[in-house]
Each structure stands twice: as C-alpha cells, then as structure tokens.
C-alpha cells in the first residue's frame, strides 16, 4: 500500500504542476498576510470527514472543547450518512462546516449550477441527519485546486472559499511517521506567525482505502493519530503565545 501511495503522491503533484502551469487554475494556498489574519492567530480546519472511525471525531471534539477552540470541518456528502450525532456535536459545540464536494471529486469542469445543486444536496443530507436546516456558505475544494473562472463565479455567488496557508500532506502520514510531521507543522506555523492549519480526520486517498486500511494503524488511511496530534499542536502553540480563532474572524 505504501508504494501505491507514493506513486499516487507523485502523480498528484505532477497533475497539480500541470494544472497550475496551464495558468487557468489556482490553488487555495495563500499566506496569512493575504487573509488579513493578524500575527499569532491560527484557524484549525479538519478535512475529509466525518471520519471513518467515529471515535476519532469524538476525541477531536473533546480536545477542541477542552481547549475552547472553534474549528472548521470540511465534510464530504456521502460521509454524512449515519453520522447525525457527530454532526450535531460539531454544530452545537460552535464549530463551522464547509462543503467539500459530494464524493471528493475535483471541480475543474463543473458548472456553477452543478455546484449549487450539489451543495443543496449536501444541506439536504445534513438536514436528514440532524433534523434542522443549516445554510452552508463555505467551500473547500478537494485537493485545493479550482479554475480561476470557477473561483470568480463562486465568489460572485456569495460562496466563501476556505483557504489554507500550508500544503497539507498529513494524508500520507501514519502513526509512526506522525511525530516528525507534527513537529515540522508546529515549527512551520511558528515561523509563519500563524495561519490556517489543515489536518485530515477522514481519509479520501486514491485508490480508496478498504475497511482493513481504516483499522490498520500502519495505514495512512487510519486517522487515529490525529486527535493526539491536535492536542500537541494546540498545547505547544498556545504555550508559544498563539491564539486559536474561529472562521468568523476571517469572513
């Protein structure tokens, strides 16, 4: 599986470079300064959830609650089903939700009408799971890539893009490689004086992981190391004087 993942990683970077060279595309990567996010402030975002393991999301929510940190969860439509309790917790505990596609597919050829209908479907499934309606205005494009023209259409339509200030490669990290990754991530945010941090509580690797990968602690699809990582990140950066903010500070 590791070999397969490495090949995929290389292919993904090659695709990203090709797409960007084409000049008609952009990424959601930006700097803290361009976001007007003041120094020493960090927004935590969690992608590709709800997690395949509900215990992962519950632990993450416990940690966020303990530290009084309001995060933003980028969720995929097909994963909402059966996760009503987690979704209710996310909302009732003051976190935000971003639409992150139906099936983690790219938005390179889709129309605004398609996007709107997919976002509506997301809101509908969310409603079925939690029993009340929530309007979603935030969007994090899968893999962080979208065309310039689509980005302009989204913005004109009132959709807010959820940016990131680092290239998140934690999807390729497993429990064994996580300590080094966390250390590098903390140092990066310290050097950049804050920003929007991305961690993945769910797995959308390609080829799609099997049930076995989700429970195998040596697989990058297993996200059980993420709650502890979050605890270390929040504690360390708080001790260094950083403040964790909600998305409201950026909108």
Q: Which is nearer to Zn ion, 53 or 237 (CB)?
A: 53
Q: CA 155 to CA 160: how far, in whole Å?
A: 6
Number of residues that bind Zn ion (CB under 5 A): 3
If one counts every other C-beta atom within 10 angstroms of the C-beta of residue 230, the result is: 23
Task: Tell me how crowded residue 240 is: count the other CB atoms within 10 A of its CB.
Answer: 11
| Conformational region of residue 101, where left means phi above 0, alpha means psi within -120 to 50, and beta covers everything else | left
Sites for Zn ion among residues 125-144 (CB under 5 A): 142
Instruction: Using the rule CB under 5 A, give the single segment among 47-55, 162-170, 216-224, 233-241 that binds Zn ion.
Output: 47-55
Nearest distance, CB of residue 42 and Zn ion, angstroms: 20
In whole angstroms, the minimum distance from the beta carbon of 47 to Zn ion comes to 4
Q: Is 48 or 231 the residue whose CB approaches Zn ion more closely?
A: 48
Q: Residue 231 interacts with Zn ion (CB under 5 A)?
A: no
CA distance 82 to 54: 10
Tell which residue, 92, 90, 114, has the closest CA to residue 101.
114
**Smallest distance, Å, CB 48 to Zn ion?**
4
Cis peptide preceding 50, ω within 30 of 0: yes
Nearest distance from residue 74's CB to Zn ion, in Å?
A: 7
Listed ranges 44-52, 58-66, 83-91, 131-139: which one lies at the site for Zn ion (CB under 5 A): 44-52
Cα–Cα distance between 119 and 155 in angstroms, integer? Answer: 15
Between 97 and 237, name the residue whose CB sits nearer to Zn ion: 97
Q: In the complex, what is the shortest distance from the CB of residue 142 to Zn ion, in angstroms, rounded to a whole number?
A: 5
Q: How far is the CB of 100 from Zn ion (least distance, A)?
A: 6
Q: Which stretch binds Zn ion (CB under 5 A): 27-35, 48-56, 147-155, 220-228?
A: 48-56
> Whose Cβ is closer to Zn ion: residue 98's or residue 130's?
98
- And the tokens for 149? 């023209």
**Which residue from 41, 42, 48, 86 is in contact with Zn ion, where contact means CB under 5 A?**
48
Residues 165-184 that bind Zn ion (CB under 5 A): none
DSSP symbols for 142-202:
GGGEEEHHHHHHHHHTTPEE--BSS---GGG--TTTHHHHHHHHHHHHHHTTEEEEEEESS
Among 41, 45, 46, 47, binds Zn ion (CB under 5 A): 47
Pick from 44, 54, 37: nearest CA to 74: 44
Please give the residue ranges that form the binding site for Zn ion (CB under 5 A). 47-48, 142
């Amino acid at each position: 599986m590791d070999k397969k993942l490495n090949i995929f990683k290389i292919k993904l970077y090659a695709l990203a470079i090709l797409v960007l060279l084409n000049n008609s595309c952009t990424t959601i990567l930006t700097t803290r300064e361009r976001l007007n996010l003041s120094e020493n402030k960090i927004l935590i975002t969690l992608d590709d959830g709800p997690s395949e393991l509900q215990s992962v999301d519950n632990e993450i929510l416990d940690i966020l609650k303990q530290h009084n940190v309001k995060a933003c969860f980028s969720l995929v439509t097909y994963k909402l089903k059966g996760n009503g309790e987690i979704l209710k917790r996310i909302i009732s505990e003051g976190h935000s939700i971003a639409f992150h596609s139906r099936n983690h597919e790219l938005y390179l050829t889709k129309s605004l009408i398609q996007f709107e209908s997919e976002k509506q479907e997301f809101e509908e499934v969310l409603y079925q799971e939690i029993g009340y309606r929530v309007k979603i205005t935030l969007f994090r494009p899968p893999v962080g890539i979208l065309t310039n023209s689509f980005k302009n259409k989204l913005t004109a339509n009132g959709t807010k893009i959820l940016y990131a200030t680092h290239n998140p490669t934690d999807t390729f990290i497993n429990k064994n490689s996580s300590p080094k990754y966390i250390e590098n991530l903390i140092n990066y945010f310290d050097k950049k004086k804050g920003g929007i941090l991305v961690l993945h509580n769910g797995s959308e690797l390609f080829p799609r992981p099997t049930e076995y990968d989700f429970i195998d602690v040596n697989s990058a699809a297993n996200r059980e190391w993420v709650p502890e990582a979050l605890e270390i990140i929040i504690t360390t950066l708080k001790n260094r004087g950083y403040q964790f903010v909600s998305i409201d500070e950026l909108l």
